[in-house]
């Protein structure tokens, strides 16, 4: 199961890195352009990002990190739930193997 | 699908905060109560949050040369309802606003309202309604997740249209224009998200343990089906 979790994390990182490298203009940017069209360029955003990834590879890295954190927690919790299941099964088996005490 | 930093003028940005804050506060209280009643629920909560984390990191390039990403909120909506989902979503939205310049802090209220509250609410209502029909559990899960995803983007379009009505045609014309930006990429994504959510839910139904009370009967019926 640990192997599965590792694979899941690696897969998510690879997929997310690949996607953010290949993706061009996002729909968010197109929405921003549309705001420019509707207001005929009359709108300037009133707030700026406090911080933005200075390089595109950093953005890719942070997107991948998000995917990795998620995939790791997801794999780990699934493992926990499965483990809990097995413990329950064993407990039930344990209980039912005992001969019923008929007075 | 997130509204970019600074792109919602007053009063809209703070009106959406006023809408969002009480729901997130209620969601936090529900999470606390859920964990107090049954500490093992922490695992399932973390899993639902992790699902949102992974799915909203997947920026998918699509036919129109634009990119978009799934929301992943359908799973959490079915398992825990919309208010808990709003808490899980706002964590992801803060991560993306601070570290990825994706979305923004001034638009956090609006983005949480669409992705964390109204989208999951639609998904949850879809689940509640579909579950009572003879559609079956699988189709109900699929529909709920797809509905949560699609309605998120409809709300984003509406939020932008309200803030930026077109000179001719007003809010409605703007809404249609923003919908056109999102719809093309989001319909296939919503279907993919529906399938992925279905896969995870089937796994959970099979495992059974730790499911919330309102889903327990589905676990039992699945087990009965296997026994037959």
pLDDT of the residue at B171: 95
CA–CA min distance A16, chain B (Å) = 5
B86 touches chain A (CB under 8 A): no
Nearest residue, CB atoms, A38 vs list B44, B97, B166:
B166
B39 touches chain A (CB under 8 A): no
CA–CA min distance A98, chain B (Å) = 23
* pLDDT score of A9 more than 80: no
* pLDDT score of A82 more than 70: yes
Q: What percent of chain B has pLDDT over 70?
A: 92
pLDDT of the residue at A97: 52
* pLDDT score of B157 more than 60: yes
pLDDT of the residue at B63: 45
Rounded CA-CA distance A66/B106 in Å is: 22
pLDDT of the residue at B110: 96
Q: Are A97 and B223 in contact (CB under 8 A)?
A: no
CB contact under 8 A, A19 and B59: yes
* pLDDT score of B62 more than 50: no
User: Which CB contacts under 8 angstroms, 24+ apart, belong to B167-175?
Assistant: B167/A38, B174/A38
Q: Where are chain B's structural domains?
A: 12-227
From residue B152, give the alpha-carbon distance in Å to each of A94, B90, B156: 48, 14, 6
pLDDT of the residue at B150: 94
* pLDDT score of A16 more than 60: yes
B181 touches chain A (CB under 8 A): yes
- Of A31-35, A93-97, B195-199, which gets the smallest average pLDDT? A93-97
B66-68/B60-61 β-pairing = antiparallel
Quickly state the pLDDT bin for B221 (edges 50, 70, 90): low
| pLDDT tens digits along B68-117 | 788 999 999 999 999 999 999 999 999 999 998 888 999 999 999 999 99
Of B114, B113, B101, B135, nearest in space to A62 by CA = B101
Predicted-assembly ipTM surpassing the 0.95 threshold: no
* pLDDT score of B60 more than 80: no
pLDDT of the residue at B227: 42
Of B128, B130, B21, B26, nearest in space to B77 by CA = B128
CB contact under 8 A, B5 and A39: no
Averaged pLDDT score across all residues of chain B? 89
Rounded CA-CA distance B69/A23 in Å is: 11
Q: CATH second-level architecture of B12-227?
A: Orthogonal Bundle (1.10)
CA–CA min distance A103, chain B (Å) = 32
Helix (H, G, I), strand (E, B) or coil at A41: coil
Rounded CA-CA distance A70/A65 in Å is: 8
Q: What percent of chain A has pLDDT over 90?
A: 15
| pLDDT tens digits along A23-50 | 555 667 788 888 988 988 888 899 988 8
**Over chain B, what HEC string results?**
CCCCCCCCCCCHHHHHHHHHHHHHHHHHHHHHHHHHHCCCHHHHHHHHHHHHHHHCCCCEECCCCEEECCCCHHHHHHHHCHHHHHHHHHHHHHHHHHHCCCCCCCCHHHHHHHHHHHHHHHHHHHHHHHHHCCCCHHHHHHHHHHHHHHHHHHHHHHHHHHHCCECCCHHHHHHHHHHHHHHHHHHHHHHHHHHHHHHHHHHHHHHCCCCCHHHHHHHHHHHHHHHC
């Amino acid at each position: 199961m640990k192997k599965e979790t590792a694979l899941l994390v690696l897969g998510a990182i690879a997929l997310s890195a690949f996607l953010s490298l290949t993706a061009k203009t996002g729909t968010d940017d197109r929405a921003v352009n549309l705001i420019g069209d509707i207001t005929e360029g009359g709108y300037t955003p009133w707030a700026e990002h406090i911080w933005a990834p200075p390089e595109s590879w950093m953005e890719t890295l942070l997107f991948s990190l998000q995917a990795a954190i998620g995939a790791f927690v997801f794999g780990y919790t699934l493992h926990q739930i499965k483990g809990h299941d097995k413990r329950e099964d064993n407990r039930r088996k344990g209980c039912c193997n005992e001969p019923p005490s008929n007075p | 699908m997130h509204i970019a930093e600074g792109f919602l003028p007053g009063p809209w940005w703070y009106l959406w905060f006023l809408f969002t804050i009480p729901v997130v506060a209620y969601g936090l209280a529900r999470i606390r109560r859920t964990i107090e009643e049954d500490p093992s629920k922490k695992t399932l909560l973390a899993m639902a949050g992790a699902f949102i984390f992974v799915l909203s990191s997947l920026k998918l390039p699509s036919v129109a040369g634009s990119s978009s990403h799934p929301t992943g909120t359908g799973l959490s909506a079915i398992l825990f309802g919309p208010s808990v989902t709003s808490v899980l979503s706002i964590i992801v939205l803060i991560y993306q606003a601070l570290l990825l310049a994706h979305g923004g802090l001034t638009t956090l209220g609006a983005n949480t309202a669409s992705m964390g509250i109204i989208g999951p609410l639609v998904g949850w209502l879809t689940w509640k309604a579909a579950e009572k029909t003879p559609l079956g559990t699988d189709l109900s899960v699929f529909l709920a997740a797809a509905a949560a995803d699609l309605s998120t983007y409809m709300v984003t379009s509406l939020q932008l249209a309200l803030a930026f009505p077109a000179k001719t045609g007003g809010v409605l014309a703007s809404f249609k224009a923003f919908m056109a930006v999102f719809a093309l990429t989001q319909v296939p994504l919503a279907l993919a998200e529906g399938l992925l959510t279905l896969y995870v839910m089937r796994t959970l139904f099979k495992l059974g343990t730790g499911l919330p009370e309102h889903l327990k009967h589905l676990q039992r019926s699945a087990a009965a089906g296997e026994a037959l």
